[in-house]
Structure 1
Amino acid sequence: MRTLFFCLFLLVGLQPLVWAQTTIGVEPIDKLVAAMQTQSVAVVQPYLLAETQVSGLPTTYTAQVLAQMLPRFKKAENPRLIRQTTEGVNTRYVVALTQNGVEKEYDVLVTPANKLLEINLLKAEAKKMDTRFGAQDLTTPAEVVMPIRVQNGLLIVTAEVDGQRGDFFLDSGAPALLLNKTRFGSSASGSTVAARQLRGVNGAGSSFDYYHATDFNWQGISFQNRDVPTLDLTDLARRAGVSELLGLIGYNLLEQYALTLDYAAQTVTLRKPTPTASAEGLPFIMRGHLPVVEALVAGHTLRLALDCGAQQNLLDARFAATFASQLRKSETVQLAGADQKARSVTSGELRKLQLVHGPTFRNQPTVFASISHLNQKPDQVVLDGLLGYPMLRQQRTTIDYVNKVVRFEGQ
C-alpha cells in the first residue's frame, strides 16, 4: 500500500491551559490527565482519532500540540465535572480546574467509542494578537510575479524575516502567516500573547508563542514591527520532503489580491484587481478564509474549497461508496492522521468532476477521508471536500479574493 501525507493548514487559535493531577471518572479524560501528569502524549494517544482537534487547530498538529502544552499543566488541581451534554452521538464534558486559587472551565468532546474528538482546554490570557492587516500595516505592490518551486504537490516561495531568507510554504488554506518556531523563538521581551482564533496563536514556555518581526518582506509585500504566531514546523517539513522551512504564507497576505497559480510555468502572480460587481469568472463564496465552489459528481452537487496547500483532492469518506463506480485505479492507501498513525482510506482517479457553470476535470486523483473536523462550526457552510494540487496544476488558475471569482485558463 502507498502511504499519503495530506497537508492541511486550516488554523484557528489557541489559549493557554492547565490541568489537574487527579481524575474525574471519564476514561478518555482521565487518560488525558495522566498524560499531563506524566508529560507523555503516549498515554492519551490510543484515545486520539485522525479527526481529533485541539482548540480548532489542524488535525495534523494534534499530537504535537499536546506534547508542547504538557509543561503548562503542572499546577492545576481539584478537577470536577460541571456538566455533560449530548451532541448527536457524542458527549461534551465541561470540567472545572483550579489554579492559583482561580477556577476555570474547559470542555472535551468524547465519541461513543470513548475517543477524544475535541480537546478544548485552552483559555485566553490578557493580550490578544490580531493577524489581520489594515491598509496602513501592509505594503502591497500593485503586481508581483515570482518563481515557485513545486515539492510533493506543495508550493514553495522565498521570503525574508529579519535578515533570514529562505523557504516558505504558500498555502491559501491557512488563514495567516506562520513562522517556524525552531528558527524564530520567543520575542526578546519575553511577553506572552494569547488568542481565541489564529488572530492569536500562542502560549508561553514550551507551548505556543509568537515572534516580534521587525521586518518581513515577500517579494515587496512587507510589514514592520508585527507579532507573528509561531509553531514548530520541523516534522511537517520533513514529511513533505523539504529540508527546512522559515514559515508558511497564508490568506492574510493574499486577501487584497487576485492570486494566479501557474504550475506549468512555475510562477505565482499577485495582482490587485479593481472591485467590480461584474468581474469575469466563476463566482465563489467565502467560508472564513476559504473560497468555496460547487461541483457535480455523478449527479451529486458538492461544496468544495479551493486550497493550494492541499496535496491531494479530498472528498469526505461518506462519498467513497457512493462514487466507487466513478473511480479509476481504485486502491486502499495509508493516510497519516493527527495521532501519527496511518489509516486505510480509499484513493483513486475520479473520472469526471464538473464545476457548476465552469470547466470539467477528468481523472482527478482523489482521496476519501473524514473531514468532520472541518465542519465543527454550525454557522458555517458545510464542506464536502477540498480541491488542491491535482486540479489546480491542470490549468492556470486565478483566485480573485477581491471580486470573489475564480478563472481557469487552458494550458
Structure 2
Amino acid sequence: MRTFFCSFCLLLSLRLPAWAQAVTGSEPLDKLVAAMQAQSVAVVQPYLLAETRVSHLPAAYTAQVLAQMLPRFKDAATPRLVRQSTEGANTRYVFALTQNGAEKEYDVLVTPANKLLEINLLQAEAKKVDTRLSVQDLTTPAEVVMPMRIQNGLLLVTAEVDGQRGDFFLDSGAPALLLNKMRFGSSASGSTVVASQLRGVNGTGASFDYYHATNFNWQGISFHNRDVPTLDLTDLARRAGVSELLGLIGYNLLSQYAVTLDYAAQTVTLRKPTPDKSTEGLPFVMRGHLPVVEARVAGETLRLALDCGAQQNLLDVRYAAAFASQLRNSETVQLAGTDQKARSVTSGELRKLQLVQGPTFRNQPTVFSSISHLNQKPDQVTLDGLLGYPMFRQQPTTIDYVNKVVRFGGQ
C-alpha cells in the first residue's frame, strides 16, 4: 500500500506540476483542487461531511456527484483565490480556474473544523432547478395502499416515468426524488437539462444532468413537466439485489402524508391526515427531512432519526463502550459507507431500546460508527444515531409528517 501511494503521488507531480504548486490558503479548498487534478474523490474525501452539498443537490449523494463532475475540470489550470468572507462561524472562499482560455469563478463554504459544507461548482448563470414539490405541483390522492418488496432490508415500490415502469427505492432518509441517470440521462426529445458550464471539453453534455419528466406517477401520486435530478444508482441497485432501479423516492413525495410501513403484510399506505395537534402518537421533531425521536438505552437518553432506508440501526461510536454490556453477539465487522471505503466497527444486538413515551424494542441489530459528520450545523437537532430496518420490521409503523407523530401497531 505504501508503494502504491508514493507512486501515485509521483504520477500526479509529473502530470500537472503547475497545480502541485497551487496554494489558496484553505486546506480543504486545496484538496478539492488536488482532487480535480487527480480525478479522484478520495483526495478530498476526508474533508467531506454527510451534509456536504454540491451546489443545490441532495447531500446524501455528494461523493457520487463529485465523482461524475470532476472530469469536467481535468483540463482546468491556474487555481486562484479571489476572495473570502465569513458566514457565521463558517468561511466562504471564492476561487477561479482557467478553462479553455477563460477564467471562471466557483466557491466553497468551509466550517471551523476545516470541512467542506458547500461545494458550488455551478456558475451563477447556470440553470437552477428547484427539487421541492409544493401542494400545487403534486396530485395527491387522499389515500393510497400499495405493495412493497423487501430486498436486503431495503424497500422497493413501483412507479412510472414517461412510460417507463419499474422499481424505485423507497427511502424516507432521502430528501428528494431522484431518477437513475443510466435510464434518464438523455432523451430523443432533448428534454435533458444540462447547464453549459457542465459540458465536457469536447462539447458533449455532462454526465450529471436533470431530466425533464413529462409525466411521473407513483400509484396516483403524480406530477407533470418537472426537472428531476438524475444520478447513477447502479451501486444502490446492487445493494438492493435488483438488476436495475428507475429511481429513488424520498421525503418530497411523502411530506403531505401519514406513511404506514407494514413489513409483515408488505404494504405501504399513504393517507392524508387532517392537521390536529391532539393527534395521538409519539411526537417527533423534524431535522431537515428526518423525524427525530428520543429513546433510552442503559439509562442514556438518545436522539435518533427514523430512516426506513437504513439497513441497520446505527449509534454513534462513543456509545460502543458504554453499551457493551447491553450487546448480544458483539463482533467487529467491516462497514462500507457512501465513499465505498470499508471501516472496522462494532456490531451486535442491543438487548433493550425503549422509545420515550413509546414501545420497547429488544435484540435490535445495531452498528456503532462515528456520526460526528452529521452534527456540524449548530442550528439543527443533534443526532445520536438512526433507527432503520431492524425497528420498522417489528410492527406496522406510521410516520405522520403532517402532525409530526409516529404510531406503532397500525394506523
For Structure 1 versus Structure 2, the TM-score category normalised by the shorter chain is 0.7 to 0.9
Partner of 2:317: 317
Alpha-carbon displacement from aligned partner over 1:363-411 (angstroms, at most 9, x marks no partner)? 1111111122222222111111111100010011011111111100179
Q: 1:157 to 1:36 in 2, by over 3 A?
A: same
C-alpha deviation, 1:69, in angstroms: 1.0
Query: Is the contact made by 2:314 and 2:366 (CA closer than 8 Å) also made in structure 1?
Result: yes
Counterpart amino acid of 1:45? A
Q: 1:203 to 1:238 in 2, by over 3 A?
A: farther
In structure 1, distance between residues paired with 2:264 and 2:156: 14
Query: Is the contact made by 2:153 and 2:389 (CA closer than 8 Å) also made in structure 1?
Result: yes
Match for residue 48 of structure 1 among 45, 50, 55? 45
Q: 1:105 to 1:166 in 2, by over 3 A?
A: closer
Query: Is the contact made by 2:106 and 2:121 (CA closer than 8 Å) also made in structure 1?
Result: no
C-alpha deviation, 1:52, in angstroms: 4.4
Partner of 1:351: 351
Alpha-carbon displacement from aligned partner over 1:43-63 (angstroms, at most 9, x marks no partner)? x62653496455267787454
In structure 1, distance between residues paired with 2:123 and 2:165: 33
In structure 1, distance between residues paired with 2:340 and 2:140: 39
In structure 1, distance between residues paired with 2:266 and 2:312: 18
Partner of 2:3: none
Alpha-carbon displacement from aligned partner over 1:140-182 (angstroms, at most 9, x marks no partner)? 1111111110001000000010110000001111111110000
C-alpha deviation, 1:137, in angstroms: 1.8
Q: TM-score with structure 2 length normalisation?
A: 0.82
Q: TM-score with structure 1 length normalisation?
A: 0.82
Partner of 2:121: 122
Structural mapping, 1:277-292, within 5 Å = 277-292=277-292
Q: Which structure 2 residue ranges, 5 or more long, are not aligned?
A: 1-17, 200-204
Partner of 1:270: 270
Identity of aligned pairs, percent? Answer: 73
Query: Is the contact made by 1:287 and 1:381 (CA closer than 8 Å) also made in structure 2?
Result: yes
Partner of 1:96: 95
C-alpha deviation, 1:36, in angstroms: 1.9
Counterpart amino acid of 2:194? T
Which has the larger displacement, 149-158 or 321-330? 321-330
Counterpart amino acid of 1:158? T
Q: 1:400 to 1:119 in 2, by over 3 A?
A: closer
Partner of 1:14: none
Alpha-carbon displacement from aligned partner over 1:203-246 (angstroms, at most 9, x marks no partner)? 65334211011111111111111111111101221133221000
Counterpart amino acid of 1:300? E
C-alpha deviation, 1:65, in angstroms: 2.5
Counterpart amino acid of 1:192? V
In structure 2, distance between residues paired with 1:345 and 1:324: 13
Structural mapping, 1:155-234, within 5 Å = 155-186=155-186, 188-189=190-191, 191-192=193-194, 205-234=205-234
Which has the larger displacement, 257-266 or 94-103? 94-103
Q: Which has more radius of gyration?
A: 2
Q: 1:270 to 1:373 in 2, by over 3 A?
A: same
Counterpart amino acid of 1:159? A
- Secondary structure of the 2:380 match is coil
Query: Is the contact made by 2:49 and 2:374 (CA closer than 8 Å) also made in structure 1?
Result: no
Alpha-carbon displacement from aligned partner over 1:73-127 (angstroms, at most 9, x marks no partner)? 2345342385699x99xx9783622443454443456978xxx665724345443
In structure 2, distance between residues paired with 1:183 and 1:272: 31
In structure 2, distance between residues paired with 1:191 and 1:282: 42
Partner of 2:235: 235
Partner of 1:8: none
In structure 2, distance between residues paired with 1:363 and 1:50: 35
Counterpart amino acid of 1:211? Y
Q: Which structure 1 residue ranges, 5 or more long, are not aligned?
A: 1-19, 195-201
In structure 1, distance between residues paired with 2:63 and 2:174: 19
Q: 1:226 to 1:83 in 2, by over 3 A?
A: closer
C-alpha deviation, 1:24, in angstroms: 2.9
In structure 2, distance between residues paired with 1:286 and 1:129: 24
Counterpart amino acid of 2:179? L
- Secondary structure of the 2:146 match is strand
Partner of 2:22: 24
Q: 1:63 to 1:225 in 2, by over 3 A?
A: closer
Partner of 1:365: 365
In structure 2, distance between residues paired with 1:24 and 1:368: 39
- Secondary structure of the 2:183 match is coil
- Secondary structure of the 2:179 match is strand
1:251 paired with 2:248, answer no
Counterpart amino acid of 2:22? I
Counterpart amino acid of 2:228? V
Which has the larger displacement, 170-179 or 123-132? 123-132
In structure 2, distance between residues paired with 1:167 and 1:338: 21
